[in-house]
């Protein structure tokens, strides 16, 4: 048997959790998990438009396993979001209500986290069910050179070791 692992998006003060394991995650200018065109990112006339933070975390909802270790996240190494659009990431232990980012301090360009150099989300060992490891906090930055429209999807991978 194996652990049944979900990827949760967390929103609001509660927080409200939404299973995004196989769903879409939409960066926007609002704190919600809805995939729509409301509260879109805006190409700025000057400066940068930052999205609200996306707080993601793995959740073991069931299955059978002994322990999970080495939780990590990484991208494919190439930013396919288009000119002027940058994705940032950081690991945070304790949840806080997602806020609109105001800068990149504390963040790292998500595309520098690759399969060979991933972002660590917790060494573990983790056991039983429930949320495990650090939160993966991501936000999108749109600059003046960006094009309009919905960007292509990118490949975020969240991995772990399991026995």
Partner 1 sequence: MGAHEITTDADGFRHGSDGEITVSLMEADGRMFKRRAIKGVGSGKAEEVCWLVAEVDGVRVYQQGMNIVVTRKDLNP
Q: Interface residues with partner 1 (CB under 8 A)?
A: 1-2, 5, 7, 20-25, 56, 69, 72, 74, 115-116, 118, 153-163
Q: Nearer Cβ to partner 1, position 7 or 101?
A: 7
Q: Which of 89, 6, 106 is nearest to 54 (CA)?
A: 89
To the nearest whole angstrom, how small is the minimum distance from the Cβ of residue 119 to partner 1? 12
Q: How far is the CB of 152 from partner 1 (least distance, A)?
A: 9
Place of tokens 């609200």: 52
Residues in Cβ contact with 129 at an 8 Å cutoff, skipping those fewer than 6 apart: 59, 60, 61, 62
Q: In angstroms, rounded to a whole number, what is the distance separating the alpha carbons of residues 148 and 40?
A: 11
DSSP state, residue 38: S
**Cβ-based nearer residue to partner 1, 81 or 101:** 81
Which residue, 38 or 144, is less far from partner 1 as judged by CB? 38
CB of 84 closer than 8 Å to CB of 146: yes
Closer residue to partner 1 (CB): 22 or 102: 22
Instruction: Quote the least distance from Cβ 46 to partner 1, whole Å.
Output: 29
Cα–Cα distance for residue pair 55/70, rounded to 1 Å: 19
Least distance in angstroms from the C-beta of 88 to partner 1: 15
Q: Do you find a cis peptide bond into 15, omega within 30 degrees of 0?
A: yes
Min CB(102)–partner 1 separation in Å? 23
**Nearer to partner 1 among residue 1 and residue 105 (C-beta):** 1
């Amino acid at each position: 048997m194996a652990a049944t692992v979900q990827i949760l998006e967390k929103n609001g003060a509660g927080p409200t959790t939404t299973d995004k394991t196989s769903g879409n995650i939409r960066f926007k200018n609002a704190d919600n998990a809805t995939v729509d065109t409301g509260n879109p990112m805006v190409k700025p006339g000057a400066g940068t438009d930052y999205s609200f933070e996306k707080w993601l975390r793995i959740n073991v909802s069931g299955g059978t396993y002994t322990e999970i270790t080495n939780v990590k996240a990484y991208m494919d190494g190439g930013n396919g979001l288009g000119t002027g659009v940058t994705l940032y990431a950081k690991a945070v232990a304790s949840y806080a209500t997602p806020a609109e980012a105001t800068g990149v301090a504390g963040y790292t360009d998500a595309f520098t986290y690759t399969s060979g150099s991933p972002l660590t989300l917790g060494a573990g060992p983790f056991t039983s069910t429930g949320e495990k490891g650090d939160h993966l906090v991501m936000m999108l930055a749109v600059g003046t050179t960006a094009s309009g429209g919905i960007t292509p999807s990118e490949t975020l991978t969240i991995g772990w070791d399991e026995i």
